[in-house]
Amino acid sequence: MTQITLSNTGLTVPLSAGEAYFNYCWLRDACPSCIDNQTRERVFDVASLPELPRARAAWLDSDAVVIDWQGESHVSHIPLSLLETFAARGRAEDPADLPPKLWHADRARYFTRVPQQAVLSDPDARARLTRALIEDGIAIVTDMAADKDSLPRLVNAIGPITPSAEGLFFDVRVEIAPTNLAFTAGPLEMHTDLPGEEAAPGVQFLHCLENTVEGGLSLFLDGAAVAEALREEDPEAFRLLASYKIPFFYRHDNWDYRAHQRVIETDPEGRVTGVTISQHLQDALDLPQGMLDSYYPAYIRFLKMMQEPRFLVRFRSEAGNCVIFDNHRIVHGREGYVADSGKRHLRGCYTDRGALRSTYRVLAKQGHSGLSQAENAFTDMENRFQASPETANDPAPVTQNAAQAQN
């Protein structure tokens, strides 16, 4: 088939992988001329038409489908590349739609490390950092400046600071009248931050200013990896934790946050997108008591898995480093320490997951993928294979520097 076929509700277009159907309303909304060049927002309202849109005629013209619409003096030129993308993926291309790289305890030595000055001044380094946060959920910025504006400079390179009940920033150190167990010298069980908020902060920053105490090792694990292990080992436990919401809180003299969250977060396709865990901020479960006969064993098994050496990473926070991690995926904690053995002071804050992905998308559109030249060459080869398997064996162009990087 080389011609477009019209129907009452849409049209069928011949594409590289075969015929594909597209709805008329979707096509009318997809018209590039309906997007304002300055604001990049849609200036057309499909509901303003007296009737549902319908094509009078449509034809292929070079790299576009041209549609002459009935009842209006408008012709749309829909890029074939857009139709190819939606036919193949069901959604628009998104450079930040990177599959997570789940990790276990042996992955810690491979965490991405980038100096602060590089993040601030080099878009390639900033892309490397933001890509690592999307794929691995965690990265470390080294050589942090010690001044009070050091942390906000770093955060603003990725996204605006998200406030919490503690304000824009919080200090993790021993306090006389703490509002959080983190502000004591005791151990801190594995958790994600602020589950009592309806939308918990997405990305957390912990800048170590000083750490000379005995003990106090930082603990991290990939909650998505543990959730996938639970799915494999106990599918019913996974189903319960991914299906039912339980209550969390964050209360003190001047605030009282409450929200219900699922312990395991999944997308519509059932893929794990994160976890919500915090026993010290978990409220009394309000599921039916009979259901708790099944829910609690599943929940306790998940909690115990988070203590297993195969998942848990332990390391000492070093002054001048800032650990950044996805608060909806990376579960963290701390071993207790001897308060009078030295000083331990971390300064923290948050930004939004959406801001992180926005920053990476802008960098990717500018040509900064966060990959090395060799990795880019390999990715290009994979993309060529997916687009045209019959030409996958053709040699991919590799620059001299990329070839050297492979050796």
Instruction: Give 264-326 as a DSSP string.
Output: EEE-TT--EEEE---GGGBPPP-S-HHHHHHHHHHHHHHHHHTTSTTT-EEE---TT-EEEEE
- Residue 223 to residue 246: CA distance in whole angstroms: 17
Q: How far apart are CA 154 and CA 145, in angstroms?
A: 10
Q: Where in the chain are the domains?
A: 5-89, 105-361, 371-402
**From CA 109, how far away is CA 100, in angstroms rounded?**
18
pLDDT of residue 96: 97
Which residues sit opposite 14 in a β-bridge?
A: 19
CATH class of 5-89: alpha beta
From the number of C-beta atoms within 10 Å of its C-beta (0-12, 13-18, 19+), residue 235 rates as exposed
Burial class of residue 17, CB neighbours in 10 A (0-12, 13-18, 19+) = exposed
Handedness of CA 54, 60, 65, 68 (dihedral sign): negative
What's the confidence (pLDDT) of residue 400?
Answer: 32
194-231 burial, b at 16+ Cβ within 10 Å, e below that, comes to bbbbeebbbbbbbbbbbbebebbebbbbbbbbbbbbbb
Contact 343, 211 (CB under 8 A): yes
pLDDT reported for residue 307: 95
The CATH code belonging to domain 105-361 is 3.60.130.10
Q: Give the integer Cα–Cα distance in Å for 218 and 168.
A: 22
Query: Digits of tens for pLDDT over the chain (407 positions)?
Result: 568 999 999 999 999 999 999 999 999 999 999 999 999 999 999 999 999 999 999 999 989 999 999 999 999 999 999 999 999 999 999 999 999 999 999 988 899 999 999 999 999 999 999 999 999 999 999 999 999 899 999 999 999 999 998 899 999 886 545 566 666 767 789 999 999 999 999 999 999 999 998 888 999 999 999 999 999 999 999 999 999 999 999 998 889 999 999 999 999 999 999 999 999 999 999 999 999 999 999 999 999 999 999 999 999 999 999 999 999 999 999 988 888 888 889 999 999 999 999 999 999 999 999 997 656 655 554 555 444 444 333 333 333 333 333 33
**Backbone φ, ψ for residue 215 (5° rounding):** 90, -155
State residue 393's pLDDT score.
39
Query: What pTM was computed for the model?
Result: 0.86
